[in-house]
Structure 1
Amino acid sequence: MPELPEVETIRRGLSQLIVGKTIERVLVNLPRIIRYPSVGSFEERLVGRRIESIDRRGKYLLFNVAPYTWISHLRMEGQYRVAPASEPMAPHTHVVFGLSDGAELRYRDVRQFGTMDVLTKDEPLPTGLVNIGPEPFDPLLTAQSLYLRLHKRSSAIKTVLLDQTCIAGLGNIYVDEALFSSGIHPLVSANQVSEAQCASLLVAIRDVLTRAIEAGGSSIRTYVNGYGRHGGFQMQLSVYGRAGEPCFVCGQPIEKIRLGGRGTHLCSACQPRTAVVTAGA
């Protein structure tokens, strides 16, 4: 958390709140959040720059502050909030950007796993961005191309889908939901998923993500958008977080297993277990 829908919701909210404004000051309270360049150079590169637009790639936010790109990865619990400068600072606020209208963009991160970079077009991107897979809504991502990607991998399908080099932006919640919707057991080997199943899976991924974005994301733990509001898609989840509750389709209890150290939710009746690999594969 946050995953693609949450990051996209944050992007849209911040685009309304801060695009067109100029960064007048930068305060870094936790230097390790800044991955590149040095903290001093990070501040120097941003001060006086106008926020032209905000893009998203997978789970990364890309702030366009020409001639630089400010890259932010929220990791587990990173949050952005726009607030009046007079509002008391919340605990764990690690970076503050003073804006030209008097407001502040505040980055808060209880777990302190988030990162920020400010780069020119000639400087190397973070490794995660260099190797990232296609966006789920990329028209070039087809059932056939997904099948070819999966057919190279023998690990469990859920493990492969969580790998950002396969498809960008997917995380635990939405992989569980998409696998349920497409009727694929999370332990099935990726190279055992047929092209027809890939077609169903791709439709399910796009449907789940679209509905989650429309609902403003899922607030399972600490996620809020740029306005400080919670998402609403957690009310629509079919399997994630519903262990022991009846499946909405067949009535059997939703199961929770561990896969790669992650809680994984499924309905064994709706997602038959055939041609599977072990959880540690």
Structure 2
Amino acid sequence: MTTVVTGRPRRSALYVPGSNRRALEKARALAADVLLLDLEDAVAPEAKTAAREAVCVAVPELARSGRELVVRLNAPGTPWYADDLRAVARVAPDAVLIPKVSGPQTVHTVERDLETAGAPDGTAVWALLETPAAMFAAREIAASSPRLGVLVLGTNDLANELHAEHVPGRAPLLAGIGLAVLGARAEGRVILDGVYNDVRDLAGFEAECVQGRQFGLDGKTLIHPAQVEPCNRVFAPSAEQVEHSRAVLAAWDRAVADGRGVATVDGRLVENLHAENAKRILALAQELSGQELSG
């Protein structure tokens, strides 16, 4: 299946702790493409109920910011899942993010529970892939439901399960990341990278963003507002990419008009696949700029 071009950018997806009311209030002014309002890892057990209430108040208020709003629930099987899902279904965020998804059955369970709770059809399910089993099942998860919108990598948990070390370049994780990207792209799904833990190391963070972009990921999950700007910049098409993409489409259009199946740009071969990639880049650039881009 051809990778779909989505209608909205997801370069940066910032986790916002549901128990931190100040962070929820400040979130509306941030430039993150996605706000991930968190009821799971960032919230202590004794604060779960209060965080759920705060997030349900915040969703309609933050919706006015134009950001895509996603709520990370506690996983099915935990003591908080059912209450999380029922409460969040009523306020209808853009999506719910489900942790610890290792196969399609978890997505099916959440889908049924959302329908039972009266969630709108437009409330998508995002799946957090955090285990070796999830990496091997990425394609089945991606194909599991029409509600399934995005796959998100949980690289911290994956490293823990692999008994792997956190090292620059993430060599121990690349096999798993590759499997997940293959599964997502096979079913035309968006896939986001995991978090970078050292909020002081912006150079290391940016290098990991570049690596994720080169690997084909659509964006990255973040844990601090300072990470938003470099993430948005890295995952946006550069001016050079936009210019090159326009040249590719122009050359391809001329080749098609002349009955040729190939063209060249700057001495390099251009085929249909290059034209399709150029269209993807220009579509993203247009979404980000709000300006009409012609090929």
TM score, norm. by length of structure 2: 0.28
Q: In proportion to residue count, which structure has more strand?
A: 1
Larger RCO, structure (CA 8 Å, separation 6 or more): 1
